[in-house]
Chains A and B, each alone.
Chain A
Amino acid sequence: MSTKKTILIADDSPAMRALLVSTIEVLGDYRIVEASSGFEALRLLPREHVDLILTDINMPDINGLELISYLRNNSNYLTVPVIIISTEGSLKDIEKGKRLGANEYLIKPFNPDRLQALISSYLCICP
């Protein structure tokens, strides 16, 4: 049985996902699943036991807000921490995302330390 915690990254930019993956990998032993669209995130959710979600807002098909709304209206994902990663142009949308139930947000460009600190605080790997 694997005790690794799983992080879902939903972002349509492969470069952004690669960057997030490399930021998370230094933190320790996490399992990372990547979704290149809102649809893919929806498809992955029931298959993976996801412990934390990083999501972009501007995505094709369904966007980050719609994804968060889905998560927070679904008993299975009600408590899964969600961190929005977006740009300052989307401040109003980020605000909405927070109201929908996102736990945190990061504005690009952000300091990798900040993301690492957030992940560690939500997914503390206790000795």
Chain B
Amino acid sequence: MSQQSVSHKAVKEFLAETEEIVEQLGSQLADLADMADRGELNPDLLNSIFRGAHSLKGLAGMFGYTDITELSHNMENLLDILRLGKIKLNPNLMEVLFGSHELLTSLVRSVEAGPSAARTSEISACISRINACLSDHPETPTDVSPILQLGLDGRVLGALTEYEEHRLLYNLNRGNTIFSVHTSFELTTFDQDLGQVSDILKTCGEVISTLPSMGNNQETHIDFEILFGSGRSLDDVKNLFENNAIYVIQLEARGNPETGIHPPPLQPVHSTDVSLHVTAQQQPSAMSVETSSLAADDATVSAKSMSRTVRVDIGKLDDLMNIVGELVLAHSAISGVAVRMRNEGFSRMAIDLNKAAKGLERKLTDLQKGVMEIRMIPVGQLYEKMSRIIRKMSREQGKKVELRFFGADTELDKLIVEDISDPMMHIIRNAIDHGIETPEKRATLGKDEKGTIRIASYQKGNHVVIEVEDDGSGIDLDKVKAKALQAGLITDVTAISDREAIDFIFMPGFSTNDKVSEASGRGVGMDVVRNNIAAVSGIVDVETSKGVGSRFIITLPITLAIIKALIITCAGRTYALPITSILESLLLTDADIKTVERKEVIQLREQTLPLLRLESFFGIHRSTERLAEFYVVVVGVAEKRLGIVVDDLLGQQDIVIKSLGESFRRFRGISGAADLGDQRTILVLDVGSMINETMRAGN
């Protein structure tokens, strides 16, 4: 590999990593602020934030981004004295940290976007705010004598970092006991085994340092000495472990370990018998360490994910998906050949070929599933971003908001997650800006001072549903109707239902708010929200109740990459309809169609179903007569239903949706094109936007 290409790789890594660090910093800062509000401080979290700023500084320095280096360096200084307990965390300091992070984020983003105007004044203002916090603390040398009295082994003492010394002192000052925990593990599995021991220890104290040393049999084993601070007694700590190959010694500040003897030589522990005994009341928390996927402040967890994940460019996955798609098409071609062979009398060979094709199909399905799974990421990643914005906005607006997240592990295609991030952000901004009332107002309304925003996601069939719900003032539909009347959209406020009124908020430029806020503007953007969600074949629905709150329901397909489609024909053209949005298909005659208010509808099980004719939707001229018998494909997204009138159903097929390119992006009713495998390219219908168009036209 040439030097140049490696450097290019390094720069790419740099961009990805800095982005990752600032994102993580943001959510961790928000967590820190939340804990501070409750009067708590998690040293692991604070240390992790420090490490983030520290890494950022080192990286930016090496890659020559002086402004990022400078800012993160100052942040690091502040975080350092904070984690070393030299200053106390207060709201002002938190504001400074939030402000610095925001600037840092924009600096990192502008690296990716390319060179931009220098922001020296902004940076120096931010740095002087940081320095103002720094100057508050007197430089007092730390008294480390209590540590020396612990009678620690010189080897352990020599390897303590400044931070670890501080944590040790902190524990001593709190009156905690310091224990030295000795373990020995097999080299092949020591990370999991040690992780288990640390997790158990963390349920009742703080793991201060972990020092490895040569095992009895250095080819196969490795020993560890863990310094552990806790309010528990020696027996309590010993009882945490069933395994008698884990030795616990209590260190006393008088200079002699309680046992007064050196630990006996350790018997190597076989990984399978590390049965760790956890007492009943500790079990839940120990379990939660293992199962919680969002335990961001756990250093061991992050360490594991670091070494076991691979960062892959989404473009590479797209390429892979395309190849899988082509393979699927190639398979269809082979099956076609098998059918032709049978028809032409080569039945024996046709059967063999068919068998082989079936085997290929099974493996292809596995491959397709595998590639698809790689693209899937938990919606929880989006939650972190949202929680940051909600906390920041509610702080700025003096509103109290409690966040509730559900279904963080629901998985969705990475690209969809990225594309819905902005619309979701907008919905949330609206909820805080226009929904949740001020604490005072809420108190007078008899509501809890603290508003609640609930974000939940779950899988529903082939779709993922994300709900954003607030318990604010709800949308004032009378006001919406009045505005619609004023804008000339309707002639009579009594003529439209509440459901129809809600649809107005998604119209371009429609707003009931006279004031413009910095965060979500004047409500401009709900049309953009709907369009952005429609762009990933999703649909957004609103339920609202005045004074009680609103709920936005976003329904999305799980993936856009490969889908099963129903191939249909209408007026001599062939289209693909994603099977995920099809509910049923009916064979009807003209007599089944009724006309209500000049709109064609059918009666389907007590419900009136609006119909859509593709030829009139796309403005196609029909050269042949309409057939007496035709099919209606009933499609639905979320709670909305529509019947699409088609001439014939040709069958089901796997298709790979390809984009039509930028120029046709806004083309209504079409989500892309697909190759049928027989040199025919057809258009894929976008059910979401068709339903939206029809509903809008129905108004």
**Residues in A lying within 8 Å of B, measured CB to CB:** 12-19, 21-22, 25-26, 36-40, 42-43, 46, 57-58, 60-63, 65-70, 73-76, 86-87, 89-90, 92-93, 96, 99-100, 108-110
Give the contact stretch, choosing among B6-14, B501-509, B679-687. B6-14
With A96-B161, A109-B61 given, can you name 18 additional A-B contacts, CB distance below 8 Å? A12-B306, A15-B17, A16-B62, A18-B9, A19-B14, A22-B6, A22-B7, A22-B9, A36-B306, A43-B187, A60-B299, A61-B210, A66-B210, A70-B211, A74-B218, A89-B76, A96-B159, A99-B158
User: B55 touching A108 by the CB < 8 A rule?
Assistant: no
Which positions 592-648 of chain B face chain A at CB distance < 8 Å? Answer: none
> Is there an interface contact between A21 and B191, defined as CB atoms closer than 8 Å?
no
Beta-carbon contact of B210 and A109 below 8 Å: no
Any A CB within 8 A of the CB of B532: no
CA–CA, A45 and B179, complex, Å? 29
Q: What residues of A have a CB within 8 angstroms of the CB of B209 in the complex?
A: 66
List A contacts of B86 (CB < 8 A): none
Q: List 28 A-B contacts (CB under 8 A).
A: A12-B55, A15-B63, A16-B55, A17-B13, A18-B14, A19-B7, A36-B307, A38-B212, A39-B194, A43-B190, A46-B219, A57-B161, A58-B51, A60-B299, A60-B300, A62-B211, A66-B159, A66-B210, A66-B211, A69-B158, A87-B57, A87-B61, A89-B54, A90-B161, A93-B162, A96-B161, A108-B58, A108-B62
- Alpha-carbon distance A39/B300, docked complex (angstroms): 10
Contacts of A108 in B (CB 8 A): 57-58, 61-62
Whether B213 sits at the interface, judged by CB under 8 Å, is: yes
With a cutoff of 8 Å between Cβ atoms, the chain A residues found around residue B300 in the complex are 60-61
**Nearest CB on A from B297, distance (A):** 12
Instruction: Tell me which of A19, A89, A100 contacts B77 (CB under 8 A).
Output: A89
Which of B13, B58, B211 lies in contact with A14, CB distance below 8 A? B13
Q: A58-B51, A60-B300, A63-B161 are in contact. Are A19 and B307 (CB under 8 A)?
A: no
Closest Cβ–Cβ distance, residue B142 to chain A (whole Å): 11
Chain A at the B interface: SS class = helix
Closest to B7 in A: A22
Question: Quick one: given A15-B63, A36-B307, A66-B212, are A25 and B159 in contact (CB under 8 Å)?
Answer: no
Identify B158's interface contact among A18, A76, A100, CB under 8 A: A100
For B54, what are the chain A residues with a Cβ–Cβ distance below 8 Å?
Answer: 58, 87, 89
Bound form: Cα–Cα A119–B208 in Å:
34
- Majority-rule SS of B interface residues: helix
Whether the Cβ atoms of B302 and A19 lie closer than 8 Å is no
Shortest Cβ distance from B45 into chain A, in angstroms?
A: 14
A57 to B57, CA, bound (A): 14
> Does B360 make an interface contact (CB < 8 A)?
no
In the complex, are the beta carbons of B210 and A74 less than 8 A apart?
no
Of A73, A100, A110, which one neighbours B214 at CB under 8 angstroms? A73
A74 and B211 CA atoms in complex are apart in Å by 13
- How many angstroms from the CA of A90 to the CA of B190 in the assembled complex? 28
Please determine whether A109 and B161 come into contact, CB atoms closer than 8 angstroms.
no
- With A36-B306, A58-B51 already in contact, the answer to whether A21 and B6 are too (CB < 8 A) is yes
CA distance A120 to B659 in the complex (A): 53
| Docked CA distance A13–B77 (Å) | 20
For window 428-474 of B, CB contacts with A under 8 Å fall at none
With A15-B13, A60-B302: A65-B160 Cβ-Cβ less than 8 Å? yes
CB neighbours of B162 from chain A (8 A): 90, 92-93
State the CA gap A8–B59 with chains docked (Å).
19
Q: Which residues of the partner chain A approach B191 to less than 8 Å between Cβ atoms?
A: 39, 43, 61
Residue from the list B55, B64, B187, B307 in contact with A58, Cβ < 8 A: B55
Asked if B69 and A109 sit within 8 Å, CB to CB, the answer is yes
In the complex where A22-B10, A43-B191 touch, is A70 in contact with B55 (Cβ < 8 A)? Answer: no
A73 near B213 (CB under 8 angstroms)?
A: yes
Which B residues touch A36, using CB under 8 A? 306-307
Residue of B nearest to A13 (CB): B55
Question: Is the pair B161, A25 in contact by a Cβ cutoff of 8 Å?
Answer: no
Residues of B within 8 A of A86 (CB): 58
Which residues in B have their C-beta under 8 angstroms from that of A39? 190-191, 194, 303, 307
The reply to whether A25 and B299 contact each other, CB–CB distance below 8 Å, is: no
Produce 1/0 per residue, B189-223, CB < 8 A to A. Answer: 01100100000000000000111111000110010
Residue B159 contacts which of A21, A37, A69, A74 (CB distance < 8 angstroms)?
A: A69
Q: Which residues of A contact B160 (CB under 8 A)?
A: 65, 96
**Cβ of B487 under 8 Å from chain A:** no
Q: Kindly list chain A residues whose C-beta atoms are within 8 Å of the C-beta of B211.
A: 62, 66, 69-70
Which residues of chain A come closer than 8 Å to B77, judged between CB atoms?
89
Q: How many angstroms from the CA of A40 to the CA of B307 in the assembled complex?
A: 8
Closest to B222 in A: A42
Q: A residues within 8 A CB of B187?
A: 42-43, 46
Say whether B307 contacts A37, CB under 8 Å. Answer: yes
Nearest-CB distance from A125 to chain B (Å)? 18
Instruction: Please name all residues of chain B whose beta carbon is closer than 8 Å to the beta carbon of A18 when the two chains form the complex.
Output: 6, 9-10, 13-14
